[in-house]
């Protein structure tokens, strides 16, 4: 099993235990004269995780947002999860974060994707009730005793020397804080575009954040621009669902929270009462374990593509109106169609935005085309011949700060105590934002409390991969997490996130003793069962072969080790339990882990050996003051990249684009010389 970054037996915050905080139940007041430990700017998915983490670790925390009515808003797809993204959400939960609990409360559908593939890429995806998700998260924030909320924009940072000391709001107030976390989303100098029209905004009908970008630039932080698109939302009453492919939710109970339902997480009261969804949706069947809404699949056609191609001259992406770079892996439909001229169709998913709303999200139709073109495009699809649009798609351009200016703790290198998380770092997605948010919140809290930062490694978490990529690679388009980015993805499965990260969550004070001990009990049960099976032999008895015949398996001719037998693709752990009746009953999660560890043992061991080989480079520190100009023989490109990013370790240096193995060899020689000279 992978080991945590810090020892689970160490409780770094004994003077501010979670139980002590909860027992007081005395909320903070906005405008505390003695200031805050942590100030979080922005209440999107990154901001919520950062604020909750800091408050739950015992810090006096202030969360500032432009609108209390839009906390944890889902302006794009109202869903959580998917390949790699679902892994991030489970890791947030394993650390003690809120995103998985909130989606478990509010989802209207959940599915397990890639079931026919290996465990490394299997992932859950849940469709949320958009409004309920926001309201439930707001209630959670308001119920946190160490957290104060205030509706105000931030126009500037207060800085003394090279250390942040607080923020100044649009109301003219100053809030002092030991640390500040910026999670500004798409609001920094946000500009919206649809067809020929452009207007200021962070999201539709929401004002942008003005003033903060110049403040950051004045402090020496580079500010660049990125772009993202949203699709149209359509009226479900105008969809012909008989001409769609219906996608139902999972028949088996699925949850993002590892502790569900033991943690007392419950779906909204409307679902508990069995209230019916909006009657407009085609609902051929219903799952017994929890009510769910279907989603619906449709396809574009040549007529759709012709509408788009005939109107490219009116597209802001082509006429120079939009200049910022958009996401390559989630492109606008007016980019996708010309890029793939041989494709006769593209998928659109029609996804309800809530249990009781008729508003449907057209996933895949991301666009900033004029309104008449959007409507004409949609009406070329048979199921949408009579469709009416409730809200047309639009593009949003916004400022971000290149993430190469951050350390692995998500603290900026130029301003001490200032942390960035979410789209301000050039990422896209609620999951990527939440993952950065919880790390930034943890480290901002630990900074305020005089504790060292928590750094997650690439071999320990997808969150570690995400942050390492951000600080070592050039981000010139919105970054999206994918399983292919994780070289150790068989170790970083969604099903073992609690085993990997719960010790860290417990050590920093985000998980309680009961939850931590439950995970450790599960760990011991898995290790014990693997050890027991390795010492157990199946004999070719008549009873054994009769059982095998009933399962359609060939008989045994000789004895076989039970663990080796489990490694066969056609053998399930349930069969092993029957064949080895002396085994201790395991909970489903633990049984799944035993089967996975057994069946993929060779591949898992190979990746663990790769991790060990890289460990020497990952642990070889580089001084922040190291003089790269003094290195003779290194290529100029490598020197410039290393000077700009200033990696903390040789492992990080090895992943910087433009630094090759020869450059690393020379760097190691000079590092050894510096160590020998006592530098």
pLDDT at 631 over 60: yes
Confidence of residue 657 (pLDDT cuts 50, 70, 90): confident
Q: Environment class of residue 219 by beta-carbon count within 10 Å: exposed (0-12), middle (13-18) or buried (19+)? A: middle
CB 91 within 8 A of CB 510: no
Task: Kindly report the number of other CB atoms within 10 A of residue 137's CB atom.
Answer: 25
User: Residue 57's closest CA among 25, 96, 111, 104?
Assistant: 96
H or E element in which residue 158 lies: strand 154-160
How far is it, in rounded angstroms, from Cα 394 to Cα 374? 10
Can you tell me the mean pLDDT for 640-666? Answer: 91
How far apart, in Å, are the Cα atoms of 212 and each of 36, 51, 218, 407, 673? 20, 20, 10, 21, 44
β partners of residue 538 = 560
pLDDT at 487 over 50: yes
Confidence of residue 560 (pLDDT cuts 50, 70, 90): very high
Pull the structure tokens for residue 661: 């193995």
* Structural domains for the chain: 14-227+400-513 (3.50.50.60), 233-250+267-397 (2.40.30.260), 514-604 (1.10.10.1800), 620-676 (1.10.150.570)
Which pLDDT does position 531 carry in this prediction?
A: 95
How far is it, in rounded angstroms, from Cα 326 to Cα 479? 10
How confident is the model over 431-444, as pLDDT tens digits? 999 999 999 999 99
Tell me what percent of the residues of the chain surpass a pLDDT of 70. 92
β partners of residue 141 = none
How confident is the model over 504-521, as pLDDT tens digits? 999 999 999 999 999 999
How far is it, in rounded angstroms, from Cα 21 to Cα 27? 10
In the DSSP assignment, the letter for residue 154 is E
DSSP string computed for 373-421? HHHHHHTTSGGGTT--EEE---EEEEEE--GGGB-TTSBBSSSBTEEE-
pLDDT at 408 over 80: yes
DSSP string computed for 184-219? -TT-BT-EEEETTEEEE-SBTTB--B-SHHHHHHHT
Which pLDDT does position 18 carry in this prediction?
A: 44
Pull the structure tokens for residue 277: 């969804």
In the DSSP assignment, the letter for residue 253 is -
How confident is the model over 5-46, as pLDDT tens digits? 333 333 333 333 444 444 443 555 544 445 999 999 999 999
How far apart, in Å, are the Cα atoms of 138 and each of 59, 260, 501? 19, 20, 26
- What is residue 100's three-state secondary structure? helix
pTM: 0.92
Pull the structure tokens for residue 443: 């480290």
Q: Environment class of residue 581 by beta-carbon count within 10 Å: exposed (0-12), middle (13-18) or buried (19+)? A: exposed
Can you tell me the mean pLDDT for 626-655? Answer: 91
**Cis peptide, bond prior to residue 261, ω within 30 of zero:** yes
Which pLDDT does position 4 carry in this prediction?
A: 35
H or E element in which residue 246 lies: strand 245-247
How far is it, in rounded angstroms, from Cα 252 to Cα 488? 29
Can you tell me the mean pLDDT for 468-482? Answer: 92
How far is it, in rounded angstroms, from Cα 558 to Cα 73? 61
How confident is the model over 307-338, as pLDDT tens digits? 999 999 999 999 999 989 888 888 999 999 99
Helices (H), 535-677: 542-550, 562-566, 573-579, 588-599, 601-619, 636-645, 650-654, 661-676
Tell me what percent of the residues of the chain surpass a pLDDT of 90. 80
pLDDT at 364 over 90: yes
User: Residue 263's closest CA among 155, 105, 395?
Assistant: 105
Can you tell me the mean pLDDT for 654-677? Answer: 87
Which pLDDT does position 266 carry in this prediction?
A: 63
**Of 8-12, 128-132, 187-191, 258-262, the least confident:** 8-12
How far is it, in rounded angstroms, from Cα 342 to Cα 100? 40
Which pLDDT does position 10 carry in this prediction?
A: 31
Which pLDDT does position 71 carry in this prediction?
A: 97
User: Residue 410's closest CA among 450, 392, 437, 428?
Assistant: 437
User: Residue 646's closest CA among 474, 461, 455, 404?
Assistant: 404
pLDDT at 272 over 80: no
How far apart, in Å, are the Cα atoms of 128 and each of 109, 203, 423? 7, 19, 21
Confidence of residue 418 (pLDDT cuts 50, 70, 90): very high
Q: Which residue has the higher pLDDT, 156 or 283?
A: 156
CB 307 within 8 A of CB 376: yes
pLDDT at 639 over 70: yes
Can you tell me the mean pLDDT for 576-590? Answer: 86
Confidence of residue 286 (pLDDT cuts 50, 70, 90): confident
Which pLDDT does position 287 carry in this prediction?
A: 87
Which pLDDT does position 327 carry in this prediction?
A: 86
Which pLDDT does position 679 carry in this prediction?
A: 57
Pull the structure tokens for residue 313: 């001259």
Phi and psi torsions of 624, nearest 5°: -60, -20
pLDDT at 246 over 90: yes
Can you tell me the mean pLDDT for 366-388? Answer: 98
How confident is the model over 58-100, as pLDDT tens digits? 999 999 999 999 999 999 899 999 999 999 999 999 999 999 9
Which pLDDT does position 26 carry in this prediction?
A: 54
Contacts of 58 (CB under 8 A, 6+ apart): 13, 15, 16, 17, 18, 20, 21, 146, 445, 449, 509
How confident is the model over 184-208, as pLDDT tens digits? 999 999 999 999 999 999 999 899 9
């Amino acid at each position: 099993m992978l080991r945590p970054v810090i020892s689970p037996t160490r409780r770094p915050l004994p003077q501010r235990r979670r139980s002590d905080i909860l027992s007081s139940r005395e909320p903070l007041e906005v405008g505390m004269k003695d200031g805050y430990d942590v100030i979080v700017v922005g209440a999107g998915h990154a901001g919520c995780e950062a604020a909750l983490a800091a408050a739950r670790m015992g810090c006096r925390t202030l969360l500032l947002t432009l609108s209390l009515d839009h906390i944890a808003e889902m302006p794009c797809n109202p869903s959580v999860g998917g390949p790699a993204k679902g892994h991030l959400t489970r890791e947030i939960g394993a650390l003690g974060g809120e995103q998985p609990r909130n989606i478990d409360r509010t989802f209207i559908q959940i599915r397990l994707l890639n079931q026919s593939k290996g465990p490394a890429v299997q992932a859950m995806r849940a469709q949320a009730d958009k409004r309920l998700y926001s309201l439930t998260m707001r209630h959670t924030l308001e119920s946190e005793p160490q957290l104060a909320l205030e509706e105000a924009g931030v126009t500037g940072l207060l800085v003394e020397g090279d250390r942040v000391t607080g923020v100044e709001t649009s109301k003219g107030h100053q809030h002092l804080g030991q640390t500040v976390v910026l999670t500004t989303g798409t609001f920094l100098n946000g500009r919206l575009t649809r067809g020929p029209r452009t207007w200021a905004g962070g999201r539709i009908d929401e004002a942008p954040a003005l003033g903060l970008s110049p403040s950051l630039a004045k402090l020496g932080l580079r500010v660049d621009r990125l772009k993202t698109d949203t699709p149209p939302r359509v009226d479900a009453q105008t969809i012909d669902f008989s001409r769609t492919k219906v996608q139902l939710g999972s028949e088996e109970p699925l949850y993002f929270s590892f502790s569900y339902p033991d943690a007392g997480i419950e779906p909204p009261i409307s679902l508990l009462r069995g209230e019916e969804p909006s009657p407009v949706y085609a609902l051929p069947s219903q799952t017994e374990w929890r009510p769910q809404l279907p989603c619906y699949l449709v396809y574009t056609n040549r007529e759709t593509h012709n509408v788009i191609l005939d109107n490219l001259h009116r597209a802001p992406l082509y006429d120079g109106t939009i200049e910022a770079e958009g996401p390559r892996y989630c492109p606008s439909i007016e980019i996708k169609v010309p890029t793939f001229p041989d494709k006769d169709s593209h998928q659109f998913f029609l996804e309800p935005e809530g249990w009781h709303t008729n508003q449907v999200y057209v996933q895949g139709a991301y666009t900033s085309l004029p309104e008449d073109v959007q409507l004409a495009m949609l009406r070329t699809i048979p199921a949408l011949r009579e469709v009416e649009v409730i809200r047309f798609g639009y593009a949003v351009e916004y400022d971000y700060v290149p993430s190469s200016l951050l350390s692995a703790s998500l603290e900026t290198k130029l301003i001490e105590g200032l942390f960035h998380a979410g789209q301000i770092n050039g990422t896209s997605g609620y999951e990527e934002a939440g993952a950065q948010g919880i790390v930034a919140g943890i480290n901002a809290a630990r900074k305020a409390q005089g504790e060292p930062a928590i750094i997650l490694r690439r071999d320990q978490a997808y969150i570690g991969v995400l942050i390492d990529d951000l600080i070592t690679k050039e981000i010139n388009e919105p970054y999206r997490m994918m399983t292919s980015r994780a070289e150790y993805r068989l170790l970083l499965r969604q099903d073992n996130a609690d085993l990997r990260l719960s010790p860290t969550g417990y050590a920093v004070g985000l998980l309680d003793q009961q939850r931590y001990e439950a995970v450790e009990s599960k760990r011991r049960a898995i290790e014990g069962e693997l050890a027991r099976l390795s010492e157990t032999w199946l004999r070719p008895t008549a009873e054994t072969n009769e059982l095998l015949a009933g399962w359609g398996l060939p008989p045994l001719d000789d004895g076989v080790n039970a663990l080796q037998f489990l490694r066969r693709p056609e053998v399930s752990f349930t069969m092993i339990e029957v064949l080895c009746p002396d085994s201790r009953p395991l909970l489903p999660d633990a049984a799944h882990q035993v089967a996975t560890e057994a069946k993929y043992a060779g591949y898992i061991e190979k990746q663990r050996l790769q991790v060990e080989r890289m460990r020497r480079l990952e642990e070889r520190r580089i001084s922040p003051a190291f003089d790269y100009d003094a290195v003779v023989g290194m290529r100029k490109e490598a020197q410039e990249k290393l000077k700009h990013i200033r990696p903390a370790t040789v492992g990080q240096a090895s992943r910087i684009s433009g630094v090759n193995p020869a450059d690393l060899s020379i760097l190691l020689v000079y590092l050894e010389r510096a160590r020998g000279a006592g530098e």
